Chain A
Amino acid sequence: MADRTMPSRSPLPNRPMNDGIAMSDDANRLDGVAKVTGSAKYGRDVMPKNGVFVSFIRCPWGHAQARSIDEEAASAVAGVLEVEITGREGRYHGEPIGHIAAESLAALRRARSALNIEWDPEDADTEIGSPEASHDDDPDGADHVLEAVYTTPVQTHSSLETHGTSIDHMGDRAIIYASTQGTFSAREGMDRVLGMPQSRFKVVCEFVGGGFGSKLNGAGKEGLTAGRIAAKYGRPAWLFCDRAEEHLDTGNRPSSRTHVRIGYRDDGTIVGGSVRTWGGVGVAGGGGGVVMPSNRYDLGRIRKQHADVRFNGGGPRAFRAPGHPQGAFAEELMIDEVATATGRDPLELRMKLDREDERRSMYELGARLIGWKRRQPTGTQASVLRRGFGIGSTSWNRFPARADAEVVIHPDASVEVRTGSQDIGTGQRTAMAIVVARQLGVPLDVVHVSIGDSSLPAGPASGGSVTATNTSLAMLEAADNLKETFLERIAAQLGVVAGALKIREGDIMQDDRRMMTWQEACAALGSAVSGRGSRSRRSDRQYSGSGHSMGVQFVDLEVDSETGVIHLNRIVAIQSCGRVICRKTAESQIIGGVIQGLSFALFEDKLLDRNTGAMVNPNLEFYRIAGPADMPKIEPVLWEGNQTGIRPLGEPPTIPTAGAIACAVFNAVGSPVRDLPLRPDRVLDAIEGGRS
């Protein structure tokens, strides 16, 4: 069983780095208590007085025409302000064909039912099916060819705070409480629908209850519709999805099909071949890309073709490492199939195929931590409970983005960190406070963060793992500029040269002598002082340097061979992200990525009824998401290596998990399960010799 004695943490000293960045090992998430006690107010919680409630009218079937709609009856319902029908055709379950505005949520519900829409259902395609693959000739130099098809289902983001916007319209100005991953991009189009210049409204988003990429869509149809209603009635407006709408119409990770025909030699070397992928994009025009092959392994010369397939479903949106988990699932399992066919250890084969030396070191550590030597060769177990071990790898590039920051020291000795960019749950608020506290040399508890407000210094939308990497550079520069100004003013008061002063734990020091306490120094300022910074090539060079993030994950699980049920024992996740700013929130990012990945591997599946095209599981009862009793011991290991700078962390930890689990199941039962989720019936099929 699981070995509980392994260290889950690599040594990580709390010390200033040679690149000027310090970190915290023990800081707690600054807003943790507010979130668990409910005092944190999300956009959805803001219901301004005298507000108008808005909801979409949606198609209940996969494809249908509204033959009759009783707009008159709905408009006549007490409390209804307006009913607007914008189309008669619904091309997927959940597609809006109009909206209702009313004085209350109850009136909205009554009006929806009074519409009494008669639908004429039409044929609906509910999945991407089995498109034919035309493959080229077998690659040169291959001793064998593996031909296999790997599929993954549609996964919904399932944000706990649903999509929507609450607008406090105050006549000639407005505050937009959006649930968004882009405080600044959420303004797009709002000036037009509100009839106000951008100078008269702002977006506020202090907390986001999950987005994972699905809240990167500007103001969104929810925001723009609420904006139009707010402007029309000159009143506040509130439009948020309910749980079903959240599953139906706020994006998803598209389904995928990967058909490989790959050549390999007797020694496990992969010499290339063809990879054809399809992405199920619903009614959308694109967005179904599958990242397979990745750039992590040397697989010879691969000819890759991709096509998006349309069907009667909601379109995809960016979802935490778009295209990657589904591609990595196919790639990792394919590598293990080659390893097994050639009698090689999958770890040994990865050491050979992987292009990164640093990741080879990670494999060695991971193998030790998971107890890889206990792994038995694939297909050799006959017991009821069969143990399996699997591996996956990950990488993520660092992308530049525009970011500004301002730091203010107030005369009351508090320090204000100002950044308009949002904390989507990653710990950005906490990380920026730590960066500033360490760079200024003051205790963390004097630092307060103003965040998620478009009237604050601009920052990036949180997509592509860019927020902390770019904002921290602006923050470091702002803190340095502020420190310089601050010390100049204090030096003038003390009658010394500024260069002679330092700040240590808030104390103003000359050599080793305390000249003033933090409180005394700030009071002596008389007025606030501030410093600004930006992410630029210069600040990038000064504070960070190039480099990407990488990682490996190791899975230890058991398969009940009589029931097909998978029990995850442990997942070791080794992940680099350069210098760690806040250990707890960084580990939380890794754990969260692993959880989302294991839930994708084992459970999640947006299921459309084959006859009507309606989603049969648009709730959190039938749409299965991993719960507490499904959790393995997840052991995040923050890998320092020789890395400098602050590198991306949000996306990479969710990439390898599903593939590593699929490899471990293959190891346990002896046949690959090539379709996610790894349901008990599919595992049983694999065990009984058939292919799932």
Chain B
Amino acid sequence: MKPFSLARPRDFAGAGKLAKDRRFRLPVIKAGGMDVVDHLKEGLIEPDLLIDVLRIDDQPEIREADGAFHIHANATLANIAASRSIARRAPVVAQCCASAATPQVRNVATAAGNLLQRPRCWYYRNSQFDCLKKGGHRCFAFDGENAYHAIFGDGPCHIVHPSNLAIGLSVCNASVRLTGSDRDAVSLADLFHMPDRGLLSEHNLKTGEVVTEIHFEPRSTSAFYAIKHKQSFDWPLVAAAAALELDGDRIESATVTAGAVAPVPWALPHVGEALVGVSLDDDTALRRACATSTRDARPMSDNEYKVRLLPVAIRRAILKAAGREVMS
């Protein structure tokens, strides 16, 4: 590890200024440190300036205003998961935070850090593989060990998006508030891009832009469901978030996003459309609608099982959102 300077700006605007300070070759913003420290240890980045924003607490972690939730960038996953108001009015968000990693991690990991963490691809995370994300010429997963990689998207890089929180937020019309540039906010859908729009980062933030808050709307009939191989400290094999509007047992509208299947939170608007009018009591129709989720799936050698898991995760997220028994 090379020596670096450490800055502790008083506010996010200060952090943004430092992030585009030309005196530094590679300024890196660190909050909880979960991901940045991993990168330092593996030798994936060698910053000359580390901008520690963890102590910035200019707002309460969680507040409600104008009928929406406002989450401070530094709110911990544990506190979001523990918020009674979020659990009641946007259960999908509380659940995706509660499902992440371990209690130890959730107590430290921050909301913005979770959204902006880098992918967990084992080739990307290993400094000896000069993969596309590191400026190399090859995706090693494509014809290699790709059991945990994407089934959607045309590459050239086949990562899956790592943030559970992003999956949950994506069904709550979420956006992030920014400082450091001429725009104030960007919608969650516009925060991330596919690999064909750039390989070296996964988000659309400009240098100097810093996330200060996350906004999202309540979705009282919503849920997150993750299928995990291991129940302690594991990444989902497949995850799904669903937000519904119900008329009795009939779905009036549905928003569905899948996780761990694509390089970005994978919105499935056609599944939402297929669900309209479906009665929760008509399991055949429900399953048929969920099955449309895999329409465009293009699995690789070792991840075809995700195609089988995805409709299961979506159906369970829908049933869970409606307060129904999931494993029936």
Q: Which residues of A contact B (CB under 8 A)?
A: 60, 106, 109, 113, 384-385, 560, 562-565, 602-603, 607, 609-612, 614, 616-618, 621-622, 624, 626-630, 679-681, 684
Contact = CB atoms under 8 A, between A and B. Distances in A.
A563 B317 CA distance: 14
A523 B123 CA distance: 68
B232 A614 contact: no
Contact of B230 (A109, A627, A681): A627
Given A113-B43, A603-B230, 18 more contacts: A106-B1, A565-B227, A565-B228, A565-B229, A602-B229, A603-B229, A609-B140, A609-B145, A610-B144, A611-B144, A616-B123, A624-B234, A626-B230, A627-B102, A680-B229, A680-B237, A681-B304, A681-B305
A385 B327 contact: yes
Nearest to A688: B308
A689 to B, nearest CB: 13
A680 B230 contact: no
A621 B233 CA distance: 8
Contacts of B102: 627
A621 B121 CA distance: 11
Interface string B287-328: 000000000000000001100110010000000000000011
A558 to B, nearest CB: 9
A567 to B, nearest CB: 8
Given A109-B1, A614-B128, A624 B312 contact: no
Contact of B305 (A109, A113, A680): A680
B143 interface: yes
B126 interface: yes
B1 A60 contact: no
Contacts of B120: 621
Contact of B312 (A109, A562, A617): A562
B227 A680 contact: yes
Given A563-B309, A614-B128, A628 B227 contact: no
Contacts of A628: 232
11 contacts: A106-B1, A109-B1, A562-B312, A562-B327, A564-B305, A603-B230, A610-B144, A612-B144, A622-B122, A629-B231, A681-B304
A621 B1 CA distance: 21
Nearest to B3: A106
Closest 8 CB pairs of A and B: A627-B232, A681-B305, A629-B231, A629-B232, A616-B122, A60-B128, A562-B312, A384-B327
Nearest to B234: A624
Nearest to B120: A621
Nearest to B238: A563
Interface string B218-251: 0000000001111111100100000000000000
Nearest to A109: B1
Contacts of A609: 140, 144-145
Contacts, number: 74
B232 A384 contact: no
A616 B126 contact: yes
Nearest to A685: B305
Nearest to A105: B1
Contacts of A611: 140, 143-144
Contacts of A384: 327-328
A44 B102 CA distance: 27
For chain B, which range describes its interface: under 10, 10 to 19, 20 to 34, or 35 or more residues? 20 to 34
A109 B232 CA distance: 32
A117 B128 CA distance: 12
Contacts of A684: 305, 308
Contacts of B233: 621, 627
Interface in B90-129: 102, 120, 122-123, 125-126, 128-129
Contacts of B328: 384
A563 B140 contact: no
Contacts of A113: 43
Given A628-B232, A679-B229, A617 B143 contact: no
Contacts of B143: 611
B97 to A, nearest CB: 16
Q: Is the interface of A mostly helix, strand, loop or mixed?
A: loop
Given A385-B327, A614-B128, A616-B145, A624 B140 contact: no
Interface in B28-63: 43
A607 B145 contact: yes
A563 B308 CA distance: 8
Given A384-B327, A563-B312, A684-B305, A626 B144 contact: no
Contacts of A610: 144-145
Interface in B4-23: none
B232 A630 contact: yes
Nearest to B128: A60
Contacts of B308: 684
Given A384-B327, A385-B327, A624 B230 contact: yes
B231 A614 contact: no
A614 B312 CA distance: 34
A385 B316 CA distance: 14
A97 to B, nearest CB: 15
A109 B129 CA distance: 18
Contacts of B123: 616
A374 to B, nearest CB: 19
Nearest to A566: B229
B190 to A, nearest CB: 30
A563 B227 contact: yes
A614 B144 CA distance: 11
A624 B235 CA distance: 11
Contacts of B327: 384-385, 560, 562
B175 to A, nearest CB: 31
A298 to B, nearest CB: 37
A560 B122 CA distance: 27
A40 B304 CA distance: 48
B231 A617 contact: no
A611 B147 CA distance: 15
B124 to A, nearest CB: 11
A620 to B, nearest CB: 9
A510 B294 CA distance: 86
A616 B147 CA distance: 12
A221 B24 CA distance: 43
A109 B309 CA distance: 43
A680 B312 CA distance: 13
Interface string B121-142: 0110110110000000000100
- Of A60, A560, A563, A618, the most chain B CB neighbours within 10 A belong to A563
Contacts of A621: 120, 233
B123 to A, nearest CB: 7
A627 B230 CA distance: 8
Nearest to B301: A610
A624 B233 CA distance: 9
A343 B169 CA distance: 52
A630 B231 contact: yes
Contacts of B229: 565, 602-603, 624, 679-680
A109 B147 CA distance: 32
Nearest to B138: A611
B95 to A, nearest CB: 15
Interface string B193-209: 00000000000000000
A362 B217 CA distance: 59
A30 to B, nearest CB: 28
A490 B163 CA distance: 73
A564 B312 CA distance: 11
A603 B304 CA distance: 19
Contacts of B312: 562-563
Interface in B124-174: 125-126, 128-129, 140, 143-145, 147
A617 B1 contact: no
Contacts of B125: 622
Contacts of B43: 113
A611 B131 CA distance: 14
Contacts of A622: 122, 125
A113 B46 CA distance: 13
Contacts of A627: 102, 230-233
Contacts of A602: 229-230
